[in-house]
Structure 1
Amino acid sequence: MNDTILDWIQQWFLNNCDGTWELGEAIQINTTDNPGWEVEIDVSNTSLATLAIPQILNEKNKNDWYSVKIEDKTFSASGDAQKLQFLLGLFKETIEKIEGIEP
Structure 2
Amino acid sequence: MKTHQPSETDLLARLEDWYLNECNGDWEHSFGVKLDTLDNPGWRVTVDLSDTRWAHLEIAKQIDGRTERDWIQFEVTKAQFVGCGGPRNLREILSRFFSIVDSVGREVNS
TM over 0.5: yes
Per-residue deviation at 1:89?
Answer: 1.0
Q: Could you tell me whether the CA contact under 8 Å between 2:84 and 2:93 is conserved in 1?
A: yes
Letter of the 2:73 partner, please give it: S
Residue 74 (str. 1) matches residue 74 (str. 2): no
TM-score by length of structure 2 reads 0.85
Q: Which has the higher strand share?
A: 1
Name stretches of at least 5 consecutive residues in structure 2 with no aligned partner.
1-6
Runs of 4+ in 1 over 4 A off after TM superposition: none
Give the number of the structure whose residues are more often helix, by fraction: 2
Q: CA RMSD, aligned part only?
A: 1.6
**C-alpha spacing 1:51/1:89, structure 2 compared with 1 (3 Å):** same
Aligned positions, number: 100
Q: Percent identity?
A: 28
TM-score scaled by length of structure 1: 0.90
Q: Does 1:59 align with 2:65?
A: yes
Instruction: Tell me if 1:11 matches 2:13.
Output: no
